[in-house]
Chain A
């Protein structure tokens, strides 16, 4: 009988005794008897293999047990929808319009007088007992013990009803039966809210989505009072996910209606087990108050799904949504208005500024160089962190962040283009000590720098105090005078990523609609400077889509471009709309983003997403003449015209991170790749030959870890 080598013996051990036939088992036994090292290896494996199995199962099995397979991904769903659409294009088209992401037919319009409650719709849902709000059966343990399908129990909707919609109620779905709801008044508003059955609503269908298959909600609200000037905001959703969906002036007879598949705050089984009420809210907010109503109900387990019960409609004070924080502007900090914005195009290409990433070769400093890599100059050359260079509109100065005051807090500095005369223009107020002892917190500091178009002010986002996990950041909007004569810190303002409009009249930023979602608003600078009041106007808001990048003004200040991400599908889109807030559209697909998170970690409630490598969080960039927008879609650098035409794949790029233009519009400067390498792409050539023109690496030492590239505009 031949003998085994050590390698063969250990391979046999990997296979396990049970897998060996008698002959090979004997060979292994003979080898182990003669080889102490292999015996030790066998002993270790015998000991450690079960331990490895145990550790890995402990690590991942709980996650897998709690795993709820995602709904069919967008691309896969598209495969199936292609056929579905082909079969019933007309019907599907109507439904698509009516039910994008479950929110359907939200139309602020002049509506006919409020109709009587839709008695024509049969109340086919549950038993009378179920509809009694005072009847509260004990929590239903069968909801958890049974693996109930995620749908309404068929008994709720005895039969699909195809009767025409009653007057004034425009349920969008062809098959429906009303489960419960009604009409209620709140001051000068009349609200109709109805739960209804619709078998086309399913948890696995993105376009006709409902967490509980078959369960939809219809709401309609009408204003019957005298005309009120100013903005009104419609808010709908299941508490606590109430979303702002539109806004406009209100006059007698105007109102809105919508239908949507219902989304639940928790798993149906959990809600049925706990008896917790689901509260669907509708509210209209104006500067004078909030008018709202809510439809509350509970779930219990049926034989083949869930049954809503204890359905109750009531008016709803939603003052928490309406809170209007006051702006804190210290006396004496009033600022003069901007009068003469400086055109930034056409401009010639100056030097390229960048900050280094902190390495053995260089501290975190700001350098400039010519586009060919020559003339490399360390502008800051200071032991402190100096980073994030932003050119003034005339290219004569650079604003940057530095912690030169110590304590690791970043303040706003400005220096001349050659690095001379660095000066502090805004320092954060004195900090309160971190009550939690500095553990696991975020330090104060400045983020996002933006110049006013006249070059007189710096706009920044400041975090004022240490923020520990679980707490929201206490922030203020910094508007600092570049001459160092002061500035203001506008507190109690919900904002992030502020930017000045090209005409100087507005400051744009994104703000929270709720704990997760954000929208874009503009803030009137004149009202802020002269009257100390906040006057916001929503620019972008669409149910189910949240902002994922800084909004970018077109060079003429007429439009804004921003990336948005669907909060269910995670699909990103490039949106372009009028800066006046009068509408816009999604013009390009961005794919799914990969995110970088700060603070509490991915998935925790206090996480802050600050950057993504692909797609939706790569900030879109307008060409200096406003004719094109460059953006990232997965691993492709693309351009598109603001009206959605002319989309062109310029180049396939792996891990695209940032995109910008040269001041003269000839080059696109982008960073990409595993080493965050900067590249230049000849735009006109690439546009004429898509995918054929290679990008040239920027001639800068990669060991400097260069980052935050900014091209100096040289005005004529």
Chain B
């Protein structure tokens, strides 16, 4: 979608054009879901987060002034939505652990299909190392290596300086290196 098409689409969305909103939704839903999945690592939660992010984006279209690329702006909203969900996940996990204690439930879960895919030992160790990184580092790694975004765009999305992005990448590399060498 070129910039003039995008501009027209966003303008029509703001004016409540139903077709434009549906087009917007169709055009960006998969990308936003991909971003949400890489943050939440849960397809169902990511699907809900994607919808929430798109809704929030439509509501906030008047605040988009073209200072960042539109996808960066949209990804930043997605990131914020997902972070809110991650915080709630933390609460849920604590409550869940308490429930396990109370009701004597085992914590064993079905193996995620994605876990079955990552079968080789080195890949498994690397994945476990990535998932246990602090949130900021994990998100930075994900944006850089999974979404292949440039440093400048990662900075826009995470709303930090480029220097901070570099520092986080360096820190993440250091931690991963330590984990891989153990």
Q: Measuring CB to CB, which residues of chain A are less than 8 angstroms from any residue of chain B?
A: 7, 10-11, 14-15, 19, 41, 44-45, 48-49, 51-60, 62-64, 67, 69-70, 72-73, 75-76, 79-80, 82-84, 204, 355, 357-358, 364, 385, 387-388, 401, 403, 408-410, 439-443, 445, 447, 469, 570, 592, 594, 596, 598-604, 610-611, 613-614, 655, 657, 673-674, 676, 705, 707
Contact = CB atoms under 8 A, between A and B. Distances in A.
B95 interface: yes
A124 to B, nearest CB: 29
A113 B91 CA distance: 59
A56 B43 CA distance: 14
28 contacts: A7-B166, A11-B166, A14-B144, A48-B177, A48-B180, A52-B146, A55-B126, A56-B142, A58-B114, A60-B38, A60-B41, A60-B146, A70-B50, A72-B22, A76-B51, A79-B58, A80-B22, A82-B16, A387-B102, A410-B104, A439-B108, A442-B105, A443-B104, A443-B105, A570-B48, A594-B88, A611-B95, A613-B91
Contacts of A592: 48
B66 interface: no
A195 to B, nearest CB: 28
A674 B151 contact: no
Q: Which of A44, A52, A442 has the most CB of B within 10 A?
A: A52
Contacts of B102: 355, 364, 385, 387-388, 401, 410
B9 interface: no
A408 B103 CA distance: 8
A63 B43 contact: yes
B68 interface: no
Contacts of A707: 98
A59 B129 CA distance: 14
A64 B145 CA distance: 16
B104 A408 contact: yes
Contacts of A15: 151
A76 B55 contact: yes
Contacts of A445: 103-104
Given A15-B151, A48-B177, A52-B141, 7 more contacts: A10-B166, A70-B51, A204-B22, A409-B104, A410-B104, A655-B91, A676-B91
A178 to B, nearest CB: 30
Given A63-B114, A69-B30, A439-B108, A14 B58 contact: no
B162 to A, nearest CB: 8
B96 interface: yes
A52 B51 contact: no
Interface in B84-143: 85, 87-88, 90-92, 94-96, 98-99, 101-106, 108-110, 112-114, 117-118, 122-123, 126-127, 130, 141-142
Q: Name the prevailing secondary structure of the B interface residues.
A: helix
Contacts of B170: 7, 10, 14, 41
B88 A602 contact: no
Contacts, number: 189
B145 A469 contact: no
Contacts of B99: 596, 598, 610-611
Contacts of A67: 30, 33, 43, 47
A440 B126 CA distance: 26
B26 A58 contact: no
Contacts of B79: none
A55 B127 contact: yes
Interface residues of B, number: 71
B109 A601 contact: yes
Contacts of B54: 73, 76
Given A41-B173, A60-B37, A83-B16, A76 B110 contact: no
A299 B146 CA distance: 39
A58 B22 contact: no
B98 A64 contact: no
B106 A48 contact: no
Contacts of B96: 596
B7 to A, nearest CB: 20
A56 B176 CA distance: 14
Nearest to A67: B33
Contacts of A44: 173, 177
B101 A364 contact: yes
B69 interface: no
Nearest to B180: A48
B145 A613 contact: no
Nearest to B123: A55
A678 B91 CA distance: 14
Contacts of B126: 48, 51-52, 55
B21 interface: yes
Nearest to B47: A70
B29 interface: yes
B151 A14 contact: yes
A510 to B, nearest CB: 18
B83 interface: no
Contacts of B25: 72, 76
Given A67-B33, A596-B99, A58 B118 contact: yes
B139 to A, nearest CB: 12
Given A56-B142, A80-B21, A440 B166 contact: no
